Amino acid sequence: MIEPVRIVEVGPRDGLQSISQPISTENKKTYIDLLTEAGCPEIEVTSFVSPKWVPQLADAKEVSALIKRDDDTIYTALVPNKTGLETAIDNQYQSVAIFTAASETFSQKNTNASIKGNFERFEDMHPLWKETNLRVRAYISTCWVCPYEGDIGAEAVIKVIQDLIDLGIHEISLGDTVGKATPDDVEYLLNIILDNWPVELFALHMHDTYKMAAENITIGLGVGIRAIDSSTGGIGGCPYAPGAKGNISTETVVRICHEQGFDTGINIDKLKLAGTYIQSIIQS
Ligand code: HMG
Ligand code: MG
């Protein structure tokens, strides 16, 4: 049997969030519908964060109402706090992503709170996501390198993972927010993590600033990781990580997976249509 790899398409959220030119709600809807038609198993549609912090995604409710939802695709929304969680539930999400960091400075810049402060927000959200039976994935940004603090030690990441697991999180996505982790760095941290927890709990979220993301996800696949975040066309960056480029492109991840004999369920020709479409919108 061919082993599946679940690609989490984050282009509509991570890819678009730092683009300053206005992108219309209709264009976002078309992009997301093309991703659904390509067979993406999971799409992070948008975020319910403060529109003052991330103006590009201020139309999150409208986008969520307009997109066509397919039963075979998981639609996820990124939420920072209980307000965001409540809005996601009101907008028909059964899957949400919460986020924190291994670096204190990045956490402050990204969420205006310490890592502890992030966990206070998660504690506040916890009863609601339990009661509503939501699927919750969590991002840990800056697992290897922070744009403000430099190298991050494995013990900081381990601490955050343990705290997330204590909250009953379903999946933890390990973020190379600035794309500076080398393959050796990735292998080193993954070996420590996988000595302690089952591989099924983890996904990789690699930004491709220095073109190491493809090699890094290959290392992840080699140690058994079967969930990879990526962005069609490799669009985007992070508004709070200066200089960081987009995620590894979904086209590249699909190619690597198919070359290595994994099944992604994604139709590459249809995916390319989505990539060409959003790139043409961004460049217009
Ligand atoms: P805050 O300013 O510290 O706190 O924001 P607040 O709770 O006092 O709220 C301030 C204002 O935001 C208020 O409005 C709230 O109502 C509003 P005002 O009274 O000023 O008009 N507000 C909200 N509005 C809509 N939805 C909400 C919400 N919450 C508060 N959920 C907060 C704290 C976290 C909300 C803010 O810092 C924020 O929104 N930050 C955005 C962070 C973000 O989206 N970053 C990018 C995504 S993370 C990422 O890209 C990394 C990742 O890709 C992994 C990786 O690559 O490493 C995931
Ligand atoms: Mg990211």
Q: Which atom of ligand 1 is nearest to the CA of 176?
A: 57
Q: Would residue 142 count as lying in a domain? A: yes
Q: Would residue 270 count as lying in a domain? A: yes
Q: Which atom of ligand 1 is nearest to the CA of 173?
A: 54
Residue nearest (by alpha carbon) to ligand 1 atom 4: 112
From the list 65, 44, 59, 57, the residue with the least C-alpha distance to 18 is 57
CA distance 186 to 207: 13
Q: What would the two tokens of residue 218 be?
A: 């290959």
Q: Which domain holds residue 191?
A: 6-283
How buried is 239 (Cβ within 10 angstroms: 0-12 exposed, 13-18 middle, 19+ buried)?
middle
Indicate if ligand 1 lies below 6 Å from the C-beta of 83: yes
CA distance 40 to 217: 18
Q: Would residue 75 count as lying in a domain? A: yes
Q: What would the two tokens of residue 222 be?
A: 């080699």
Q: CATH number for the domain including 88?
A: 3.20.20.70
Indicate if ligand 1 lies below 6 Å from the C-beta of 80: yes
Q: Would residue 160 count as lying in a domain? A: yes
Return the H-helix or E-strand segment holding 6.
strand 6-9
Q: Which residues pair with 231 in a beta bridge?
A: 249
Residue nearest (by alpha carbon) to ligand 1 atom 51: 141
Ligand nearest to the CA of residue 97, numbered in listed order: 1
Q: Would residue 234 count as lying in a domain? A: yes
CA distance 115 to 156: 11
Q: What would the two tokens of residue 65 be?
A: 């109402």
146 is catalytic: no
pLDDT of residue 275: 94
- pLDDT averaged per 10 residues in sequence order, the chain, 284 residues: 94 94 97 98 98 97 98 98 98 98 98 98 98 98 97 98 97 97 98 98 96 97 98 84 87 97 97 94 83
* Per-residue three-class SS string for 248-279: CEHHHHHHHHHHCCCECCCCHHHHHHHHHHHH
Question: Which distant-in-sequence residues (6+ apart) come within 8 Å of 226 by Cβ?
Answer: 3, 4, 5, 6, 199, 200, 262
Q: Is 80 helix (H, G, I), strand (E, B) or coil?
A: coil
Q: Would residue 41 count as lying in a domain? A: yes
Q: Are strands 95-101 and 135-141 parallel, antiparallel or unpaired?
A: parallel
Q: What is the number of domains present in the chain?
A: 1
Q: Would residue 1 count as lying in a domain? A: no
Q: Which atom of ligand 1 is nearest to the CA of 207?
A: 56
**191 neighbors 197 (Cβ within 8 angstroms):** no
Q: Which residues pair with 150 in a beta bridge?
A: 146
Among candidate residues 143, 146, 238, 257, the one labeled active-site is 238
pLDDT of residue 237: 72
pLDDT of residue 276: 94
Q: Would residue 172 count as lying in a domain? A: yes
Q: Flag whether the pTM goes above 0.95.
A: yes
